[in-house]
Amino acid sequence: MNKCQKCNVTIIDDSDRCPLCRHVLQQSETPGINCYPNAIQVTKRFRFLENLVLFLSLLTGCVLGGINYMVNPDVPWSLVVALILLYGNMVLKLAVTGQSGYMFKTVMLVVIAVVVLLGIDYLTGYSKWSLDYVLPIGILAMDLMLLILMLVNRRNWQSYMMTEILMILLSIIPEILLLTGVIHFPYLVWAAMGASVFLFLGTLILGDQRARTELKRRFHI
């Protein structure tokens, strides 16, 4: 059992460096009061679970792909299952074992979900329901999650303003698809654009000087 003299914690695994400050540990015969848990072992368990799910997903995808090819090759249903398994692995990677912030996880999971549903739509005949409904609903979901995070993290709400600008840029994509005739259901597209714009305007107006200072700091003006 080793002890970090700088952090005053005892490490119960066989690490030679402190997981907090990365300093070299010294041997200790008796465990201290501030005993640090076996963080490396916990990380290994999560990594093993992540790799196990990935292996089982690949195995399942290959088996179902072979069955699909032999039984009904004209309908690629195994690819739909593969996309669902892919999303499940991404959820495990980002939401469970990932070390990123909540906003990054939310945006990435919603974006990946939209891409997966676009793929499923394409594989099942491409009736464009993914563009008409899933794409704008995904943007609305990210706007809602952004608002919730701002309410929860009220002391640092201004740090989400760059994400709000990103949401406005993303909401332009369905607007372009609507103008070019790719999307035929305009109401959700307008709702997504309106939610993104008014969320940013609300933050800018209600935030007053603090919000404007954050924008100046971000854009160096």
Please state, in angstroms and as integers, the Cα–Cα distance from residue 116 to each residue in 28, 69, 81, 88, 206, following that order: 52, 21, 11, 11, 37
* 32 and 45 share one domain: no
Q: Say what the alpha-carbon torsion angle 86, 87, 88, 93 is, to the nearest 10 degrees.
A: 90
* Number of domains forming the structure of the chain: 3
* 50 and 148 share one domain: no
* 105 and 146 share one domain: yes
DSSP 129-194: HIIIIIHHHHHHHHHHHHHHHHHHTGGGGGGGHHHHHHHHHHHHHHHHHHHTTS---HHHHHHHHH
* 189 and 117 share one domain: yes
Please name which of 61, 55, 90 lies closest in space to residue 78, comparing C-alpha atoms: 61
Q: What angle do CA 66, 118, 64 make, to 5 degrees?
A: 10
* 110 and 172 share one domain: yes
3-state DSSP percent of the chain in helix, strand and coil, to 5: 70, 5, 25
Which residue range is the domain that position 8 belongs to?
1-37
* 61 and 136 share one domain: no
CA pair distance 177, 188, nearest whole angstrom: 13
The whole-number pLDDT of residue 32 equals 47
In this structure, the number of other CB atoms found within 10 A of the CB of residue 59 comes to 10
Per-residue pLDDT tens listing for the chain (221 residues)? 677 777 777 776 667 777 777 777 777 655 445 555 555 565 667 778 888 888 999 999 999 999 999 998 888 899 999 999 999 988 888 877 666 777 788 888 888 999 999 999 998 888 889 999 999 999 999 999 999 988 888 777 877 888 899 999 999 999 999 999 999 999 999 999 999 999 999 988 888 788 888 788 877 76
pTM recorded for the entire structure: 0.72
In this structure, the number of other CB atoms found within 10 A of the CB of residue 199 comes to 21
CA pair distance 211, 188, nearest whole angstrom: 28
Q: For 90, how many CA atoms within 13 A lie in the half-sphere containing its CB?
A: 18
Q: Which residues pair with residue 36 across a beta bridge? A: 11
* 134 and 220 share one domain: yes
Residue 35 — left, alpha, or beta (φ > 0 → left; ψ -120 to 50 → alpha)? beta
127 membership: H or E segment, kind and range: none
The whole-number pLDDT of residue 211 equals 80
* 129 and 216 share one domain: yes
* 7 and 70 share one domain: no
CA pair distance 94, 85, nearest whole angstrom: 14
Q: Which residues pair with residue 35 across a beta bridge? A: 10
